[in-house]
Amino acid sequence: MLNEKTVGEIVKEAARKFPETEAYVYPEHGIRKTYKEFDEETDELAKAFIGMGIQKGENVAIWSDNKREWLLSQFATGKMGAVLVTVNTNYQEKELEYLLQQSDSTTLILCESFKGTSYLDIVRTVCPEINNAEKGNIQSAKLPHFKRIIVMSENEYPGIYTWSELLAHAEGVSDEILEQALKATHNEDVINIQYTSGTTGFPKGVMLSHKNVVNNGQLVGDYIHLSETDRLCIPVPFFHCFGCVMGTIASVTHGTTMVIVEQFEAGKVLQLVQDEKCTALHGVPTMFIAELNHPDFAHFDLSTLRTGIMAGSICPIEVMKKVMEDMGASEITIAYGQTESSPVITQTKTDDAIEKRVSSVGKAHPGVEVKIIDPVTGEDTPAGVPGELCTRGYLVMKGYYKNEEATKSAIDSNGWLHTGDIAVMDEDGYIDITGRIKDMVIRGGENIYPKEVEEFLYQHPAIQDVQVVGVPDAKYGEELMAWVILKVGESLTSEELKEYCKGKISFHKIPKYVEFIDAYPMTASGKIQKFLLREMSKEKIEA
């Protein structure tokens, strides 16, 4: 049975069932709030959004690490019907400009800075009109829909609302108006747009409905047996589905306490698991590897840890075993999916045989169809034969925002979402992901499409051609290697190219390795053989 509630309604339900259970904890700031208080806080913020003039269906972008304001905004927009557009914390100027433009966002909520990067400086570069604008009435030449900016602080900036100025807008909005907004929000409405890199080099806005994310979060939590007695440590970023569906929504649908880490640090996570007596922990493989290899790992008491989810990239078998044995998370599970599927398609169960739990991504969730097809013929493949994994059901996105062509190429006429991932299914329905049809690189849980990086590097005046491939990396799973053909008479070093990238594209997209080459391996028809470049890359880094 599908959960028919909206994102706003699940907060109300949790507050009714578990009013005194802690909803969220920010140990770094000494903040603890019960589900009753969480419901009241998100009511006030939802009223503030309404009072500010934000309408149902309006796109509100949010750019921050895992701050309390992000969490409150997720559920407040869920109550009053605005659409939360999540922004990758690593974005730089060009990426932010593209997202705000393509998404038609009217509003940007942001923190002041992240890891030494001033978000305020970046947004002023994208929209210089802010400096002379009246708050709430920004008029940008590049961004015709853009009206307002809210900062997650009390510091005053020209043209930008402080957080308390936002909250002051709640005063003129009655409980009845909020109730009407909540009732007018339907579970088929889009609640979230998440941008994912595209093979064209431009990110695509994945539109997810209340039904998509509420049910996916519910099922993810069911699989690890979450309840109001559990405490889930969430160090994965909220702007990913891992954080804001498998983390926050999975918790709220089960009355579970969210122990939130603003920015991942292995030692901090271990400390919080110990101090807050966490029973569950989420992470991408690189996070778990960093925790297991922390110099003080043996001194932390992780005895309360029971479960959690490892996902985001292919999970190494040895790492899974260590998490079970050394961290004591004997019921840890692996989940597989993508943003377009809300995100989880398959997941292992806590009582699956150990071999299945460490070497597969489990079976399809209840109510979710999967099939493996021959990518050329489209015919179903028999058990044990690899092909492209396709899925169908409540979890499939509504489509890509303002991109019908890309939507049609992802979702076929029968409703099947084509993942682009190569998988094998055994006789019992367990699935193993063996590779990717596309050339996507997954670095520490971040999906990178080489074409996006290539498109950027092509802009360098010394570069004639460039091809980017993924190479194995012990820490991040994969890293990028760029193979560069220089223009005649030009010179460029690896260091100079990396310096050129800094501050222009996200740091995780900057190639770790740069090699210069005179010609690429080609097919007879003139196509570059990327698989040979990958082999050459591996040989280079292993030499």
Judging by DSSP bridges, how do beta strands 344-347 and 331-337 pair with one another?
A: antiparallel
- Beta-strand ranges (E) seen in 91-168 are 107-110, 113-114, 117-118, 148-151
Q: Which residues pair with 389 in a beta bridge?
A: 372
Over range 394-409, report the average pLDDT.
97
Given 1.10.3720.10, 3.40.50.980, 3.40.50.300, 3.50.50.60, which CATH number is that of 35-207?
A: 3.40.50.980
3-class state of residue 258 by DSSP: strand
CATH 3.30.300.30, applies to 441-542: yes
φ/ψ of residue 334, rounded to 5:
-110, 135
> Both tokens of residue 420?
């682009």
What pLDDT sits at residue 436? 65
What mean pLDDT, rounded, does the chain reach?
93
Over range 353-366, report the average pLDDT.
92
What pLDDT sits at residue 318? 78
Whether 108 shows a pLDDT value over 70: the answer reads: yes
What pLDDT sits at residue 526? 47
Q: Which residues pair with 83 in a beta bridge?
A: 59
Range from 98-112, 184-198, 408-422, 441-455 carrying the lowest mean pLDDT:
441-455
Whether 199 shows a pLDDT value over 70: the answer reads: no
Whether 527 shows a pLDDT value over 70: the answer reads: no
Whether 525 shows a pLDDT value over 60: the answer reads: no
| Run of H or E residues at 207 | strand 204-209
Query: Can you spell out the DSSP letters for 473-489?
Result: ETTTEEEEEEEEEEPTT
Over the stretch 413-459, which tens digit does the pLDDT of each residue have?
A: 999 999 998 889 999 999 988 766 767 788 998 878 777 788 799 88
φ/ψ of residue 135, rounded to 5:
-55, 130
Residue 307 pLDDT level (bands cut at 50, 70, 90): very high
Higher pLDDT, 377 or 53: 53
Q: How far apart are CA 213 and CA 397, in angstroms?
A: 10
Q: Crossing angle, helix 68-80 and helix 175-184, to 10 degrees?
A: 80
Query: Which is nearest to 414 in space by CA: 382, 381, 378, 387?
Result: 378
Query: Can you spell out the DSSP letters for 307-361?
Result: EEEE-SS---HHHHHHHHHTS--TEEEEEEE-GGGSSEEEE--TTS-HHHHHHS-
- Most distant pair of Cα atoms in the chain: their distance: 72
Q: How far apart are CA 362 and CA 72, in angstroms?
A: 33
Q: How far apart are CA 323 and CA 311, in angstroms?
A: 13
Over the stretch 240-263, which tens digit does the pLDDT of each residue have?
A: 999 999 999 999 999 999 999 999
Residue with tokens 């209840």: 366
Q: CA 7 → CA 55, 213, 217, distances in Å? A: 17, 8, 10
Over the stretch 119-149, which tens digit does the pLDDT of each residue have?
A: 999 999 999 999 999 999 999 999 999 999 9
Q: Yes or no: say if 330 and 306 are a contact pair by the CB < 8 Å rule.
A: yes
Q: Which residues pair with 4 in a beta bridge?
A: none
* pLDDT over 70 percentage in the chain: 96
Q: How far apart are CA 257 and CA 231, in angstroms?
A: 5
What pLDDT sits at residue 427? 96
- Domain ranges in the chain are 35-207, 441-542
Over the stretch 20-29, which tens digit does the pLDDT of each residue have?
A: 999 999 999 9
Whether 283 shows a pLDDT value over 60: the answer reads: yes
What pLDDT sits at residue 198? 45
Residue 345 pLDDT level (bands cut at 50, 70, 90): very high
Whether 543 shows a pLDDT value over 80: the answer reads: no
Q: How far apart are CA 9 and CA 22, in angstroms?
A: 18
